[in-house]
A and B are shown apart, each in its own frame.
Chain A
């Protein structure tokens, strides 16, 4: 137990080292439970896509292009929800029961960066899940409507959607106590999923004005609409620049609230 370990790095370098070590820990653990991770993130969107995109279409209950309207929404939903759940659940458990996060809170880096690491890692997971939805969509639906030119913009919306999902997850995970997490997920998650314009284009809701207004308050709407604008521009959609602005606004608000909540839980 020599007391002479060379901890040479100082300042920003040391902070970066600690941050990457936290990130590596999460990646390492995910790598070991890859099957569980894939099952968790892929099954739900896959079935959604299969039943609503394939089965209902084949049975003639939906119009021909509905599958291609649905796919961008489902990919947006996968990114957003994966990021949200992967941030919120572990935090609730960590802060309330296992306290496993304490060792990371005592790492030599500013506490808010531990929260940022959670957002970054959940975003990484969410992006993996979202990217997987493209080949799965192709497999289930037989085709995916996207051009190479649309890829950068699609990537931007997926990154923004994942980041916001993670920030919302950080907010929920630090504001909600373990005893209320089931309740909160029931009353927050379900409405969030069905008002996110994943299953319908937002602009087509003009005859259902109140619902359109409700949907406008859901960040997921702008991810879905942005994705749709890039992947099937012929369907009516919110302008991509509006989506981008709205998403940046949501990201700023939820990151601020989430990090504040995290600091409140991490430091008494």
Chain B
């Protein structure tokens, strides 16, 4: 209870001034944000919330109202269309929903409220043709972030064994794990000049985005098993920070290990010895574009997959995904990474280039073939060379 109360008072301290300032203006443009987790989860949802604040900063007169913890466990009995009704009654003209879970609810609500524009983050209704005309999709190209994570991992590892702490299995998580592997294998072969068969890349799925005791595999245990089994770098694909925590413990016990967290810029904090860097989302620019378009009446339906700004992948105003170097990254690796990023930017390097095979030996990309967006989006298995399950059993 106490942390909640504290949080409550903190929110008041920081947020109330905004609310008061906006009151004076007439009929501000309002957009709604539906967050699956707490707005301050230091992960996926906070990245979205921060983007909303970014929009308010950039466009004076625009007001965000948000509702966090939008999931059946935290809001028993309330369905997405009901929450959208609530937002609609507050006069919002754009609603952004940030979770894959909300797919069906957003579609239903969009049909009921044709006057409001809906953006479903990470969805694909526009591609599949199930979206009504007022519903669009956006997503960030995290594949690049994961490639960089894999690249750094492969250059850092001394044992040649990289662990990937995976959440549940679906198309998104498969393609992210595969991207990390492709980044790693590039670094292993091209930079370290070693044969690919000497690189071990193993994926362990815990079964969910975070630990549910008794239900999922315990990520702390999984990370421990990685390190104890000679894996000296673990890349996290889950929403919580177990990999970094366990790595720090191992360091204190005198082991030379590293970890790469996920989602949130600040995830390396407090893990100076082990954190090699973090791939993260930066939703601000996309949000800003959508709000402007809807406000000016020139929004068009689309499915957008936004990449990094190759001039500066960490530019808060332009880049949809980025990679922050962590305190534990060595200078040499950081230099190589800069080169890798330049290569990706110019198109000289494309790790999604054939021949690449699926885990079962069937071809994913033929020799000379480069992958289309759709092919990457709908990847149906892990790749040859990766250990771990490709699909839920």
Q: Is B one of A's binding partners?
A: no
Q: Which residues of B contact A (CB under 8 A)?
A: none
